[in-house]
Amino acid sequence: MTGIGAGRLAIELIEATKRYGETIALDGVSLGIEPGEFFCLLGPSGCGKTTTLNLIGGFIPLTAGELRIEGRRVNDLPPHRRNVNTVFQNYALFPHMTVAQNVAFGLRMARLDGRETERRVAEYLDLVGLSALRARSPAQLSGGQQQRVALARALARRPAVLLLDEPLGALDLKLRKQMQVELSRIQRQVGTTFVFVTHDQEEALSMATRIAVMSDGRVVQSGTPREIYYRPVDRFVADFIGESNFLEGHLAADGGARRVRFRDGGAVIVPSELPVGLARAGAVTLMVRPECVSVGTTAPEGQWATLTGRVINVAFLGNHTRVTVQTAAGAVVTLRPHSEGSRSAALDGLLDQEVCVWWSPQESTVVASDTGGGADGSLA
């Protein structure tokens, strides 16, 4: 676990398992979420994100393992007695109540007195910018506005943790971007721990303080967006988040520096730190992000991982140019940003040329080829 600080965790899952008959929805997940984090659960459909959230919210029981909220074991606590609140994917607003009554509902259930309820309703409607619509019924709101009501309603109870299940899934792209910024602002403003489910990697990278990447009911890796992006523990994570070059080869010790040697010739230097268990020689996959790869007619001096090859494609993508180079290790994709001075026209001329591609060894990652990985963010 990438611990930020000691003290009580907001949420702690210990070997949490959930089975539906034969299906294992969640398979021994251990996870710690610090207070104040904006924590993203990211993964493909069916990997167990909603299940994790429903377990924390108390809507389904654990099959095995333990769940703690603010240090207290809550396995058997019903939802209405847990100090967490949820923003549901379909919002689940109460259609027979006004916006203000929706926000007040949780406070009424907590038996807050009338004046305090009124004050908080005003405070949280103001936070989400809906004060003017307080008397409307949910049916008279747009999707984005309903989303905000759901958010205000859940936050008004001032829970320890706010759970959000793909809250932006139903919004169109533009509104989605806008709400991403808005959600980040609200989270910073109230300081509540957010646990946010999404299958959109860009959303997770841009908003989260930490991400847990899930697959098949397991957490494959958890860490900061940068760790996940630049130090993926396996091919699945690298593939799921962003684009990556995957180069298959063999790990070999070449005197001092270790290298990955490719079947059709050529070898590159690898990072000085390798994942545990990769110290010895064997089949490995080397991963490097396209934007970390440079391309040119001659490679520069110094400690670079370098390959030579022929440019087979140059694609102009507006703010980037994408150059694909066929090397002994396979096709290597590089993504070169446009800025004043570096004009794409120069890259256009590279088509069919013999070129070099190079990258800093520290920006590449090596994992064993056949194993699926599964380590918890720890890179030795």
Ligand X SMILES: Nc1ncnc2c1ncn2[C@@H]1O[C@H](COP(=O)(O)OP(=O)(O)OP(=O)(O)O)[C@@H](O)[C@H]1O
Binding residues for ligand X (CB under 6 A): 20, 23, 25, 43, 45-51, 199
Query: Per-residue x/- mask for other proteins, residues 61 to 90, rule CB under 8 A?
Result: -----------------xxx---xxx-x-x
Q: Smaller CB distance to ligand X: residue 62 or 100?
A: 62
Minimum distance between the CB of residue 90 and ligand X, rounded to whole angstroms?
A: 12
Name the token pair of 372: 């699926």
> Is position 319 an interface residue for other proteins (rule: CB under 8 A)?
no
Minimum distance between the CB of residue 75 and Mg ion, rounded to whole angstroms?
A: 22
Report the interface residues with Mg ion, using CB under 5 A: 50
How many CA atoms lie within 13 Å of 101's alpha carbon, on the beta-carbon side?
A: 10
Q: Smaller CB distance to other proteins: residue 90 or 303?
A: 90
Residue 197: CB partners within 8 Å, gap ≥ 6?
A: 40, 41, 49, 50, 52, 53, 163, 164, 165, 166
Contact of residue 59 among other proteins, Mg ion, ligand X, none (CB under 5-8 Å per partner type): other proteins
Nearest to 102 by CA among 143, 68, 133: 133
Q: Smaller CB distance to Mg ion: residue 128 or 150?
A: 150
Q: Smaller CB distance to other proteins: residue 103 or 347?
A: 103
Binding to other proteins, residues 89-118 (CB under 8 A): 90, 92-96, 105-106, 109-110
Rg (C-alpha) for the chain, rounded Å, is: 25
Q: Smaller CB distance to ligand X: residue 45 or 298?
A: 45
Alpha carbon distances (Å) from 302 to 75, 305, 332, 358, 359: 56, 9, 21, 11, 11
Question: Is 56 within 8 Å of 69 (Cβ atoms)?
Answer: yes
For residue 285, report the phi and psi dihedrals to the nearest 5 degrees.
Answer: -115, 130
Minimum distance between the CB of residue 25 and ligand X, rounded to whole angstroms?
A: 3
Binding to other proteins, residues 154-173 (CB under 8 A): 154, 157
Alpha carbon distances (Å) from 87 to 72, 112, 127, 163: 23, 21, 16, 6
Minimum distance between the CB of residue 105 and Mg ion, rounded to whole angstroms?
A: 24
Nearest to 295 by CA among 321, 272, 317: 321
Contact of residue 280 among other proteins, Mg ion, ligand X, none (CB under 5-8 Å per partner type): none
> Is position 146 an interface residue for other proteins (rule: CB under 8 A)?
no
Alpha carbon distances (Å) from 185 to 143, 269, 273: 19, 42, 37
Minimum distance between the CB of residue 95 and other proteins, rounded to whole angstroms?
A: 6
Contact of residue 88 among Mg ion, ligand X, other proteins, none (CB under 5-8 Å per partner type): other proteins
How many CA atoms lie within 13 Å of 150's alpha carbon, on the beta-carbon side?
A: 24
Q: Smaller CB distance to other proteins: residue 80 or 115?
A: 80
Burial 98-133 (b: 16+ CB within 10 A, else e): bbbbbbbbbbeeeebeeeebeebbeebbebbebeeb
For residue 213, report the phi and psi dihedrals to the nearest 5 degrees.
Answer: -90, 125
> Is position 139 an interface residue for other proteins (rule: CB under 8 A)?
yes
Question: Is 150 within 8 Å of 125 (Cβ atoms)?
Answer: no
Q: Smaller CB distance to ligand X: residue 36 or 169?
A: 169
Contact of residue 2 among Mg ion, ligand X, other proteins, none (CB under 5-8 Å per partner type): none
> Is position 57 an interface residue for other proteins (rule: CB under 8 A)?
yes
Interacting residues with other proteins (CB under 8 A): 57-59, 78-80, 84-86, 88, 90, 92-96, 105-106, 109-110, 137, 139, 153-154, 157
